[in-house]
Chains A and B, each alone.
Chain A
Amino acid sequence: MEEHLVDWSRAQFALTALYHWLFVPLTLGLSFIIAIMETIYVKTGNVIWKEITKFWMTLFAINFAIGLATGIIMEFEFGTNWSNYSWIVGDIFGAPLAIEGIMAFFMESTFFAIMFFGWDKVSKKMHLLSTWLVAIGSNLSALWILVANGWMQHPVGMVFNPDTARFEMENFFDVLFNPNAYTKFLHTIGSGYVMGSLFVVGISAWYLLKNKDVVKAKKSIVVAATFGLITSLFLILSGDESAHEVALNQPTKLAAMEGLYNGHDRAGIVAIGQLNHEKEIGDDKPAFLWDFEIPYALSFLGYHNTDAFVSGINDIVYGNEAQGILSAKHKIEQGQVAIAALKAYKKAKKSGDEMKAAQELQRFRAHEKYFGYGYLKDEKEVIPPVALTFYSFHLMVGLGSWFLILFFFILYFAMVNKLDGKKMLLRLAVFSIPLGYIAGETGWIVAEVGRQPWAIQDMLPVGIATSQISTAAVQTTFWLFAIVFTGLLIAEIRIMTTQIKNGMEGH
């Protein structure tokens, strides 16, 4: 496949996914914060909580409306740019994506309408139920998408059918309860909750700095900072579990996340450091120009055992006999045998030679585990871009830690009623809104760039997943999306800022 076509197709998918992810986390998080606020209103009967709920609901609606259907673009791209991939995974992805579509449509169209049109028309409890169901429905939509994504990171519960060229589902529950899927789901929705909290805390902090809507802003801060603090802790736990899954199933990604070239026991985590850009796979140069390492932490994070061996990039590329790690070269050879067997099987089937076909199918099955490696030209291709993965991971972790500290202090000063005087802290809260988006995006960069070169881990490299279309067509649509999505983002920011400047009154 033409290299430029693959790169442009990847760039286009990355662009649409990154833009889509600007809208989604706020929907996931803000929907629950609104539900909590409305619950307080229903419980206390205090009208101020109704006004607070309605204000944040308006901002939620803006984000929802602008972000609506931005994800569908990725499905267009599957059919046009990634037709090999979409055919091969069609049987696996069909069920989760159909459930997502039906669930999203029915839950959102019904309860969303009650949530916005139903004030004073349905009972308080019915309205509250609708608000909670919108929140739960939005989050369940994310579940099905992440089940599909988790499967790509760690394919389970399927068998490759050499007659249809498809992975076919053998066990739906293996796919649904794939550890990679649910850890990813929990970590992803957790990041959405933190984003929603940062949004509410940041905007409320801005009101306090402007001495506007002070009472409502403070009440909003208490709810959002509490939610943010709890979900930040949850995010750390789910991140730990997610890293454990990466260590078990995607050691290459873990090695790239940590810039670890030579694996060893009792491996430490580089808390902060600068990669040596002259470092090449297999050479003796140091991996870092400078770094600060926390001893044993990587072994513990990856395997929940401080003595565990963590494989490095060199171990994965060249193998490590003592640790039972096969070299990439060996896997490539195994993959080439699988491809040759598949070709021979196909030929035998065509000529009606069932015995030969059965033999070749057996040969294919024996080497199928490394099928995707057969398409790689060089053993170093198994390693993802190290610098992008490393810096994204460390930025995400650093920001996540900052948010925990921020929520703690904001909540503390709000509870002792001293928040008004903490101007610097309030400014930091406002400034942390874009940081929340950066943390979310870098998380996805770690997840997706870190698993390159694979579209499906070990089974299908991105180079073989694309369609045979012209590069110019992909370039055209890339720029088209860049313009459309940038326009949507500008619209969102403008409408949001107008609403925020108008204040919380009148809601």
Chain B
Amino acid sequence: MAITATIKKIFRFYLEGFKNMRLGKTLWGIIAIKFILFFVIMKILFFPNFLKENFSNDNERAEHILNNLTQGEK
């Protein structure tokens, strides 16, 4: 019971905080746009993880790096 009441209290605290925001709404808008741009568009389309995309396990990744370090093939 006490936990539920605390959770409700915290929820109301955040809800009222967000509702009463003035400039904060613009800032949250900017944060939302930025997050979509960074994490959805840029990360997925432009920034794949090179080693995760091209190799299936850590042994292969280590092998690739060791090749780069030792064979001057870079």
Contacts and interface: CB of A to CB of B under 8 A. Distances in A.
Task: Decide if A and B are genuine partners.
Answer: yes
Interface of A: 1, 58, 61-62, 65-66, 68-69, 72-73, 76-77, 79-80, 83-84, 86-88, 113, 116-118, 121, 162-166, 339, 342-343, 346, 463-464, 466-469, 473, 476-477, 480, 484, 488, 491, 495, 499
Contacts of B51: 79, 83, 86-87
B7 interface: no
A165 B38 contact: no
A410 to B, nearest CB: 29
Interface residues of B, number: 36
B7 to A, nearest CB: 14
Given A69-B35, A83-B49, 9 more contacts: A79-B49, A83-B51, A84-B68, A88-B65, A339-B69, A466-B74, A468-B50, A469-B50, A477-B46
Contact of A79 (B14, B17, B50): B50
Given A76-B47, A165-B62, A166-B62, A65 B38 contact: no
Interface in B32-51: 34-35, 37-38, 42-43, 46-51
Given A117-B13, A117-B14, A80 B50 contact: yes
A5 to B, nearest CB: 10
Given A477-B46, A495-B23, A468 B66 contact: no
Given A79-B47, A117-B13, A473-B46, A342 B27 contact: no
Contact of A116 (B24, B52, B69): B24
24 contacts: A65-B28, A69-B31, A72-B38, A76-B38, A76-B43, A80-B46, A80-B49, A80-B50, A83-B50, A84-B69, A113-B17, A116-B17, A116-B24, A117-B17, A166-B62, A339-B70, A343-B71, A463-B74, A464-B68, A464-B69, A476-B46, A477-B46, A488-B30, A491-B30
Contact of A165 (B18, B43, B65, B74): B65
A342 B70 contact: yes
Nearest to A80: B47
Nearest to A77: B47
Contacts of B62: 87, 163-166
Contacts of B71: 343
A83 B35 CA distance: 23
B66 A346 contact: yes
Nearest to A481: B42
A68 B47 contact: no
A211 B62 CA distance: 65
B26 interface: yes
Nearest to B29: A65
A72 B68 CA distance: 27
A499 B23 contact: yes
Contacts of B58: 164
B42 A480 contact: yes
Contacts of B23: 58, 61-62, 495, 499
A467 B50 contact: yes
Nearest to B14: A113
B37 A484 contact: yes
Contacts of A162: 66
A121 B18 CA distance: 14
Nearest to A468: B74
Given A73-B38, A84-B65, A116-B17, A65 B50 contact: no
A66 B30 contact: yes
Nearest to A491: B30
B70 A346 contact: yes
A165 B66 contact: yes
Nearest to B47: A76
Given A62-B27, A80-B48, A467-B50, A117 B65 contact: no
Interface string B50-72: 11100000100110011011110
Nearest to B42: A76
Contacts of A163: 62
Contacts of B35: 69
Contacts of A87: 51, 61-62, 65
A340 to B, nearest CB: 8
The 3 A-B pairs with the shortest beta carbon distances in the complex, nearest first, are: A117-B17, A65-B27, A83-B50
A65 B31 CA distance: 6
Nearest to A469: B50
A165 B34 CA distance: 35
Contacts of B47: 76-77, 79-80, 477
A333 to B, nearest CB: 16
Nearest to A463: B74
A163 B59 CA distance: 9
Contacts of B34: 68-69, 488
